[in-house]
Structure 1
Amino acid sequence: MEQTADEFFHDFRQELLSGAEAKGRFQLDEFMETVAAELVETGFTEGFELCHYRPPQGGIRVDGYWFNDEGNLDLFVADFDSRAELASLTKTELEATFKRLSRFFEASIDRDLAVDLEVTSPGHGLAKQIADRAGGINSLNLILLSERTLSGTVQSLPEGEVAGIPASYQVWDISRLHRQRSSRSHKEPLDLDFAQMFGKGIASLPAHLGADAYQSFLMVMPADFLATLYGKFGARLLEQNVRTFLQARGSVNKGIRATILNEPEMFFAYNNGVTATAQRVETETADSGLVITKVVDLQIVNGGQTTASLFHTRKRDKADLSRIFVQMKLSVIDSQQSEMVVPKISEYANTQNRVNAADFFSNHPFHVRMEDFSRRIWAPAQKGATRETRWFYERARGQYADAQSKLTPAEQRRFKAEYPKPQMFTKTDLAKFENVWDEHPRWVNLGSQKNFAQYAKRIGSEWEKSSDTFNEFYFKRAVARGMVFRATERIVSAQAWYNGGYRANIVAYTLAVLAEIARCRNEAIDFLAIWNAQKVDPILETAIASVASVVNEDITDPPPGISNISEWCKREGCWTRIQAKSNVIAASLDTGFFDRLVSLDEQMETERNARKTQKIDDGIEAQKKVLAIPSVDWGRLNRALLEKGVLTSKEMGVLKIAMQIPLKIPTEKQCAVLLEVIEKGRLEGVILKDTEHFLKRT
C-alpha cells in the first residue's frame, strides 16, 4: 500500500536524523545534501555545493549553489527547522524566502557583497564568483528545498528577472519529493506541450503496426526547438547514461559545429539524428499530416552530443538554426518496461560511436557483480554487537526503497536490521570512495556526476582487460574505503577550526594525502582490517584529523588571482601543491599510524589470490549456466549457426560436447566459449527460448 504524505514525512525525517548522526553533520546540511543528491541523480541539476550564508539582519539568505557549463546558475535555499510534524508552506512564506535568495544574488552583483565577508567563508567565495561571472550568467534558477508541503493556493511560479538575469523559480517540497520517490522510474517525468511552447506540434510519421505493437514515430524536429528544450531543461532531457557520456566528453562536437555554421542545409543528410523515448504522446491530424503535440517524460537516449552542440553553437556562435532539421526516432515505452528496455535502446543506438566505459548502465556486469556481493557477503559483527549485517549496494536508483515496498512492517524491521540505512551506498558514492584513494581527488571535487563519469571510464576499461580484478576483496576494500570516507566527514565537522564550509573538498584531499603518504613508503592503508572491525580505529582517526587541518589551511589559501576556493579545489594545481607537502605532513603523524600500514607487496598478494578465487567462481558460474541448458537446445543452436556459417572449428568442437550433456561435461574454459556462442547466436538473431533468461547475466 502506498505511503501517505504524512507517513513519508516521518520516514524521511528519521532517515535525516540517523544520517546526520552517522555522518556527524548538522541536520540542515543532511537535509540539503540528501534532497540535492536526488535532484542531481535525476538530472534536475548538474551538481550541488553547500554554502550557508544567513546573516542575522539584512533579509539575505543562500544555502547552496551550482554553476554549469552553459552559463546557468542554480541557487538553493532551505526551508528547514527539523519540524516534528508535516506542516504547510504558505504563499507568503514562499515569496519571502525567494526574496531573500534573490537579494543575495543582487547584493553579490550590485553591492559587491564579497568585500564585506570573511575571505575564507563560503559566502564570500560564492558572492565573489557571482560578481566575477556576472557577464557570463545567462539564466538563474532559484530553488527552494522545503521539509513542508506547498499550500494548494500556489498554482504556478511565473518566471521573471533578478538583477536583469532571466530567472525561474522551483519548489521541491516534501510532497514533490514523495511523488518522485514513489514513481516507478524514481524521477519526476518531463512533460512537454509542444503546441504551447512552440505554437505548433512536431511533424511525425507513425512507425508501428497494429494496436498491440508499441508505438514508435519518426519525427522531423526543428533544430531551434531541440536547442530551446536543451536550454530550458538541460540534463533532465537526457537519459542518465547519456548524461554520463557527455560529462566524460564535455566538449562540443567539432564536426557538428562545422556543419551548423558552414552547411546548415546539409545537416539533416550528414547527422545521424536523435533517438528518444517517452511514456506517452498525444497526436493531432493537421493539414500537413500527423503531428505530436504533447510528450510525457521525453528522454534522449542517443544524440545527446548533437542536442548539446546545437544549443552551444546557437549560443556561442549566434548560429541561425532556422534552416536545420533533425530526425528523431521516438519510441513510446511504458514506465513498467522502461528500466529494461530504455538501456537496451541506448546501448544499441550508440553502437556507431561506442561510448564504452562511459556507457556505464546500471545493468553493466560490474554493477551486477557488486550488487551480488552486497546481497550475499555478511559484514563481521562489530565488537559488542549480537548480529552481522550487510552493506546494500544500490546499482539502480530506488532499489533500497523498492526492496521494502511489499514487505510487512515486521519484515521491514528485519530488512533494516540486516541492511541498516547508513550501510546503503550508491554508484556515485562508490565512485567517490574509490577515486579519492586512487589519486583522483580533483575529480571528486568536480561534482558527483563528472566524478562518476571519470570512474566509469576507468572501471569500464579495466573490466575489459580483466574482470577478475573486481572480486570479493575489491568489494570489501570499497566498503572499508566508504567507512573511512564517512568517518572523515564526521571528523572534519567536529574540528574546532571547521567553520562550516568546504567539507567535501577537505575530505577528498585529506584521504588523497593519506594514500600518497602510504604509497611513498610502498605501503597502503589496511582496508581489510577496517572491514573486519567494521569501524575506523582511533589511531587512523587521529591521523585524519591531523592531515585535515593542514589540508584546510592549504586549500583556503589559493594562489593570487583565484578568489573562489571551491573552484581552486577543482584544478590540478591544487592537488599538485598539496601532494608536494605530503612528506612534511607525514613527519607530523604518530608512529602508530605507520605501524598499521601494510606493505604493497602484501596487498598485491591478497589481490592476486582474490583474482584467482574470482576466476574460479566465474568458471563455476559459467558451468552452472551451461549445464542448466538442455542438450537438445545446444543442438538447435549448433544447427542454426552452422547454416549461417559463423562458427569457428573450436566452437563447433565445444558445441559437440554440449550436445552430449549430461553424458559429457564441458570444462570451465569450454563453458566460457559456449556462453560466447550464445551471444554470437543472439547477434545473428538466433535466440533459443530456453536460454533467453541466461543472457541477462552473461
Structure 2
Amino acid sequence: MSGPDLDEAYDRFWDDLLFEAEASAEPQAAAFFRLYSRIAADNGDCIDLTYTPARNEGRGAYQVDGITLERDRGDLFLAISDFRSSRKLETLNAAQIDALFERIRRFCHLAVQPTFINAVDETSPAFQAAWPIFDGRSQIKRIRVVAFSNARLSTRRKPEMTGEVLGVPFVCSVLDFARYAGILSAKGGAEPIEIDVTAVNGAPLPCLPAHSIDGEQASYLVAVPGTFLAEIYGLYGAKLLEQNVRTFLQARTKVNAGIIRTLENAPEMFFAYNNGLTATAAGITTASLPGGGLGIASIENLQIVNGGQTTASILYASDSQRKDRKADLSRVYVQMKLSVVNPDRLDQVVPLISRYANTQNKISEADFFSSHPIHLVLERISRNLSAPPKAGSLSGSKWFYERARGQYRDRLANGSQAERKRFELEFPREQLIDKTELAKFEVTFECRPHIVSRLAQKCFLDYAGRIGKAWGASEAQFNEHWFRTVVAEAIVFRTVDRLVARADWYQQDRGFKLQIVTYAIAWLIHHLQIRGQEIDLDVIWQRQELPAEIADALAQIAPQVACTIKDAPPQMKNVGEYCKQQACWAVVAASHYVFDDQLESVLIDHLESEQLRKAALEAQKVDQEIDFDRVLATMLADTEPYLSFARGHGLLTPKSEAAIKRLTRGDIRLPTSERNALKYMLEKMAKAGFALPRASDQQPSS
C-alpha cells in the first residue's frame, strides 16, 4: 500500500475508532484494542483475547492488554497495545518494539510468583491476566505475543522466536498499521503467508508434479520434513490453517495422543501411518535440485486445509519441555498434496477443497457455516427490508448484514461522494451486523450467556451447529419475521452495553462488560419465561429503539448481576473463566434481583408469540411457492441455462429433465411428480450457487 493510500486508510481508521468508542461508550484505548484484536483473530495471529489492560510504570515496568490460554495445545496468547493518539501516522522503530516485548516478558515472570498473585485484587485486570499464567504454567508450551500499534513499522518484521520465557519458546509478531490496513483490504479477508522454503529448510523441498489444469490449478506431491512443519507452525501457528479448520481447532481439538505415540516410538514410520496433509497456495517458485528433479523454493499464501491436527501434534511432540519423551523429527516425513490455485479463484476453490478433504474427519457442516446459504438469505433480506422511521425521523433506513468481512467498508468506499452519502443514509454504520454478532445476540436470547462469554469464535461455532440443524429442518423459518427479531435483539444488546459502560458503578470498577450484559439480558428473559411471557421484539422493531421500561429494568438488574458473577467460588479464581461455565448461569438464573417492574406494555404472551412465528412461517412457504411459479415462467423463455447448470453439477434426474422438456415446448402443466422433481433440483441449484429469480427480490443496494 503506497504512502497516500496508507494516509487515507489511517483517516478511515480514525473514523472507525471514534465510532467504536462512541458506540461502546468506552475509552479510545479500549476501542483500539477491540478493532485490532478482532482483525488479529480473523487473520490467525491470535485467537479471541480477553481484554486485560494491566500496566505498571517505573522500575520493573510491565504491560499486558489481552490474554487467552489454549490449555489443550499449550499456546499462551498475549497482546500488548501501542496506541498513539496522534491523527498523523507515526513511525514505530525496532527499539520501541523490543521495549514492548520486554514489558510482556517482565509480566510473565511476575505472573508465576505467588507474592505477585497475592498482592493484586482478584477482580483487577492484572490478576485476570496473571492467573491463567500462574494456574496453567505446567500446560504452557509456547508463548505467542502480538504487539498492536497504530504506528507504521520502519522495517517489516515477520514472526520470530526470541529466546525462551518461563522455559518455553517466546514467539513475537507485530500488527502495525501497515499490516492492519493491508489485512482489511486483502482479498479473502486474510493476509497471505509467504514462506521462504529454502531459508527455513536449508534447501528446496523435492516435489513431484501430479496434475495440472491450464491456468487454473496445479497439484504437487511433497514429502515434507517434520522439522520444517514444526518450524513454520511454531512461528505462524493457526494462521497456517484455512479459516474453517482454524475455527474448528480453536474450538474443540486436543493434541492427538495417537499421533504423538507414533512420533515418539516409530518416527521413521510416520509417513506410512499418517494420512498426510492437504494444502493450497496462491503460487510457488521452483528450482532444479542438484541431483536432478524439481524442488519448491518458496510458497505464497500457504494454507493447510486438512491436517491441522497432525501439524499441531508434530510441534507438540518436539517441544523443548518434553526432554524425557521428545520426538526425533529428523526421522519424520509427512506426505502433502499441494494444490496451487489461481489467485482469482482462491475464495471459490479453497473452501471446497477444505470441505471435501475433511469429509472423513470430525469437522461438521457447522464448521463450514461461514459459507452457509443462510448468509445469502440474511443478506438479501437486509438489503430489501426497510425499518420503520425512528421517532423524529421522516424516513426509515435499513440494517446491513455483512456476509463477508469488508462488504460494508468496500461499499462505502465506492462511488462518488454523493453516492457514498446516500448509502450511509440508507445503511447507517450503527446498523451493521456481522455473523459473530448475530451469534452473540441470538445465543443471549436463547438464555445461554455462558456460551457468549466464551467469546466470538467459540460462540459462533456453537450457534452454527444449532442454526445449521434448524435450517435443515425448515429453511422457511428464516424469513423477514426472523430478521426483524434479530434486529430487535441487536438493539437490546447494544443499548444495554452502552448503559452499562456509562453507569457510575461500572466506571468505578471496570471489567467483564460483555459478561454482565449477556447475563443481565438472559436473566430477564428467563425471568419472563417463567411467567409465560416474552419481550415483545416487534415493539422494539417498530420503534427502532429500546423502550424506556426495558432499559430501566436492565439498568437495575445489571449491577446485581455484576455482583453475582464477580462472587466466584473459591476454586474459580478467574471471573472470566467462571462466566464461561454452565454453573455460573445456573447461579445467576436462580438469583432473585429487584427491579421496578413496569414491563407489561412491552411484553407478549409466549403462546401469542409462537402463533406469530408460525404465521410468518406459513407465509414464507407460500412465498416460496410463488417464487417457484416465477421461476417456471422465467424458464419458459429460456431453459438452456438451467439445463446446462443442472447437467454440469450432476443434479439432473429423469423426471426433472422431463419437466424441462415440457417447459421447452411451452407446456407449464407439469405432473406432480415432475413438478416436485424440478423443485428439488432448483433448490439444489440454488445451494450450488445458481441465482434463481424470486418474487420478492429487488435490486440490492450493494
TM-score by length of 2: 0.89
1:96-115 to 2 correspondence within 5 Å?
96-110=99-113, 112-115=115-118
1:151-550 to 2 correspondence within 5 Å?
151-152=154-155, 159-209=162-212, 212-252=215-255, 267-269=270-272, 271-286=274-289, 287=291, 289-312=293-316, 318-353=326-361, 355-498=363-506, 499-550=509-560
Q: Name the SS of the counterpart of 1:383 in structure 2.
A: coil
* Maintained 8 Å contact 2:489/2:537: yes
Per-residue CA deviation, residues 301-332 of structure 1 (Å, 9 max, x unaligned), is 22333434444455587445554433222122
Per-residue CA deviation, residues 100-147 of structure 1 (Å, 9 max, x unaligned), is 333222222247322221222121122222222223222222322122
* Maintained 8 Å contact 2:195/2:299: yes
1:463 is displaced (CA, Å) by 1.0
Counterpart in the other structure of 2:607: 601
Alignment match of 2:561 (pick from 551, 574, 581):
551
Amino acid at match of 2:104: L
Per-residue CA deviation, residues 38-87 of structure 1 (Å, 9 max, x unaligned), is 11112211111111123464522222212123222222222224322222
* Maintained 8 Å contact 1:480/1:527: yes
Whole-Å separation in 2 of the counterparts to 1:563 and 1:204: 52
How many residue pairs align between the two structures?
682
Counterpart in the other structure of 1:614: 620
1:164 is displaced (CA, Å) by 4.1
Whole-Å separation in 2 of the counterparts to 1:158 and 1:466: 50
Alignment match of 2:595 (pick from 580, 583, 589):
589
* Maintained 8 Å contact 2:251/2:457: no
Alignment match of 2:570 (pick from 557, 560, 568):
560
- Percent identity (aligned): 36
Counterpart in the other structure of 1:127: 130
Out of 29-38 and 180-189, give the one that drifted further: 180-189
1:374 is displaced (CA, Å) by 1.2
Q: Name the SS of the counterpart of 1:351 in structure 2.
A: coil
Whole-Å separation in 2 of the counterparts to 1:619 and 1:480: 28
Out of 272-281 and 225-234, give the one that drifted further: 225-234
Counterpart in the other structure of 1:688: none
1:202 is displaced (CA, Å) by 2.3
Out of 523-532 and 271-280, give the one that drifted further: 271-280
Per-residue CA deviation, residues 619-674 of structure 1 (Å, 9 max, x unaligned), is 33344445434566399679979xx99846x54664454443x3315599965632
Amino acid at match of 1:454: D
Structure 2 residue 635 is matched with structure 1 residue 633: no
Alignment match of 2:64 (pick from 34, 38, 62):
62
User: CA 1:516–1:696 in 2, change beyond 3 Å: closer, same or farther?
Assistant: same
Amino acid at match of 2:521: L
Aligned-residue Cα RMSD (Å) equals: 3.3
Per-residue CA deviation, residues 580-639 of structure 1 (Å, 9 max, x unaligned), is 21xx12xx2222124422111111111111212222233333444454345663996799
* Maintained 8 Å contact 2:161/2:169: no
Counterpart in the other structure of 1:686: none
User: CA 1:255–1:104 in 2, change beyond 3 Å: closer, same or farther?
Assistant: closer
Whole-Å separation in 2 of the counterparts to 1:635 and 1:411: 35
Q: Name the SS of the counterpart of 2:339 in structure 1.
A: strand
Q: Name the SS of the counterpart of 1:664 in structure 2.
A: coil
Counterpart in the other structure of 2:697: none
Q: Name the SS of the counterpart of 1:207 in structure 2.
A: strand
1:37 is displaced (CA, Å) by 0.6
Whole-Å separation in 1 of the counterparts to 2:20 and 2:213: 51
Out of 199-208 and 461-470, give the one that drifted further: 199-208
* Maintained 8 Å contact 1:619/1:669: no
Out of 540-549 and 229-238, give the one that drifted further: 229-238
Alignment match of 1:676 (pick from 657, 676, 680):
680
Amino acid at match of 2:91: S
* Maintained 8 Å contact 1:91/1:153: no
Q: Name the SS of the counterpart of 2:371 in structure 1.
A: coil
1:358 is displaced (CA, Å) by 1.9
* Maintained 8 Å contact 2:652/2:681: no
Whole-Å separation in 2 of the counterparts to 1:403 and 1:669: 44
Per-residue CA deviation, residues 497-530 of structure 1 (Å, 9 max, x unaligned), is 2222111221221222122112212221211211
User: CA 1:606–1:288 in 2, change beyond 3 Å: closer, same or farther?
Assistant: farther
User: CA 1:608–1:679 in 2, change beyond 3 Å: closer, same or farther?
Assistant: closer
* Maintained 8 Å contact 1:129/1:563: no
Out of 456-465 and 437-446, give the one that drifted further: 437-446
Q: Name the SS of the counterpart of 1:208 in structure 2.
A: strand
Amino acid at match of 1:384: G
Amino acid at match of 1:343: P
* Maintained 8 Å contact 2:148/2:175: yes
Q: Is there any run of 5+ residues in structure 2 with no aligned partner, and where?
A: 695-702
TM-score by length of 1: 0.89
1:46-85 to 2 correspondence within 5 Å?
46-55=47-56, 57-58=58-59, 59-69=61-71, 70-85=73-88
Counterpart in the other structure of 1:570: 580
Counterpart in the other structure of 1:34: 35
Whole-Å separation in 1 of the counterparts to 2:328 and 2:690: 50
User: CA 1:619–1:131 in 2, change beyond 3 Å: closer, same or farther?
Assistant: same
User: CA 1:414–1:135 in 2, change beyond 3 Å: closer, same or farther?
Assistant: same
1:267 is displaced (CA, Å) by 4.8
Counterpart in the other structure of 1:44: 45
Per-residue CA deviation, residues 412-438 of structure 1 (Å, 9 max, x unaligned), is 222222222222121111111111111
* Maintained 8 Å contact 1:634/1:658: no
User: CA 1:487–1:634 in 2, change beyond 3 Å: closer, same or farther?
Assistant: closer
Q: Name the SS of the counterpart of 1:378 in structure 2.
A: coil
1:34 is displaced (CA, Å) by 1.1
Q: Name the SS of the counterpart of 2:351 in structure 1.
A: helix
Whole-Å separation in 2 of the counterparts to 1:198 and 1:176: 26
Alignment match of 1:146 (pick from 145, 149, 153):
149
Q: Is there any run of 5+ residues in structure 1 with no aligned partner, and where?
A: 684-690
* Maintained 8 Å contact 1:86/1:148: yes
Whole-Å separation in 1 of the counterparts to 2:130 and 2:339: 45
* Maintained 8 Å contact 1:276/1:329: yes
Per-residue CA deviation, residues 153-202 of structure 1 (Å, 9 max, x unaligned), is 98997623345442232222222211111222222111112222222332
User: CA 1:620–1:310 in 2, change beyond 3 Å: closer, same or farther?
Assistant: farther
1:677 is displaced (CA, Å) by 3.5
User: CA 1:640–1:392 in 2, change beyond 3 Å: closer, same or farther?
Assistant: closer
